[in-house]
Amino acid sequence: SARPGVVASSGEDGCLCWFDLRTKDVLLTIEAANKPISSICFKSGNEDHVYISAGNEILSFDIRMGSQSKPLETYNYNRDEINQIAVSSKGYLAAADDSGDVKIVNTTQKCLYKRLREAHTSICSSVQFIPWRPWTAITGGLDSKLAVWDFSKGRTLFSIDYGSPELQNSSSSGSTGQCLNPAFVHSVAVSEEGILGGLYKVCAVARGDGAVDVVDLEYELAPAKSKGPSRARGSTMSSKTTDLGDGSNNQCQRRRIHLDYSMGGHTAAVSCVAFSAFGEKGKLLVSGGNDASLKVWDWSKGFSPETSSNSELVLDIDVKKK
């Protein structure tokens, strides 16, 4: 955000590259690792400091040192290959790996802080921190589960199992033509605090069955707050599956929105999601899929009880590649 028009990327060649999108020039290349880099993220509040994951290792670099930059920090707490890393505003680093575990590292004290385990029975593909709840993180996995954690205590606050029969039945109606893949969670994006006037505190979920879900996190977390620590771990919130939005306006106030093929959505697995940083921040949701298309959604209409509008697809781009 400090360098508009510049994008950072990491690749299977072990290199970090900075590109100027206006001139298409390569501004910087760092040979960061001798193995594929699976994830990259910036230190909160300091875009000169970048973290990467390669294999089961996390490395950090100061890009002001240029192409000769050497690792500032190295962490080796994960057993298996890391799929995604994220950094919180308080300096905690989360790393989700193939074993289903998530390691939380305290980058200030440079030590392992917590191990989040037992929520996922398969690969943990995605992890993000929730900015308005500084001790809360969210993970998604190839067991079709989404889990929200109090990482200070190492326990789950709630989880959603997209592979459960109730949720599969709720989301399958009207989705004729959608791919038949399992509802693996490939990517999770969390909205920034204060978007759209502070009305919405949500996350978006990229699913393997071609759907994108938007979940009202504050609604899901409210019972956890009122019931306290005795709440059952890993509940699937089955009582709320009736609140699953299906794109139609049959709810006075929906708590989950389901964007699928019937609304012009993806015909293959959705691999990534992101809230817009352009225009009105967070107003649009961008999803990319293995159907080689990029979709842009005006998602918040589906949550509003005051309007008769539904969430809608506002842009569909065929990018020719998965």
What is the model's pLDDT at position 322? Answer: 75
Residue 67 domain-assigned?
no
pLDDT in tens, 235-279: 433 323 334 443 433 333 468 999 999 999 999 999 999 999 888
Sign of CA dihedral 223, 225, 230, 232: positive
Residue 281 domain-assigned?
yes
Residue 248 domain-assigned?
no
What is the chain's mean pLDDT, rounded? 87
Residue 298 domain-assigned?
yes
Residue 156 domain-assigned?
no
What is the model's pLDDT at position 171? Answer: 62
Residue 23 domain-assigned?
no
Q: Is the pLDDT of residue 219 over 70?
A: yes
pLDDT in tens, 111-130: 999 999 999 999 999 999 99
- What domain count does the chain have? 1
Residue 212 domain-assigned?
yes
Residue 175 domain-assigned?
yes
**Domain encompassing residue 206:** 162-223+254-321
Strand order in the sheet with 57-62: 37-43, 46-54, 57-62, 73-75
CATH of the domain at 265: 2.130.10.10
CB 301 within 8 A of CB 309: yes
Total H helices, total E strands in the chain = 2, 24
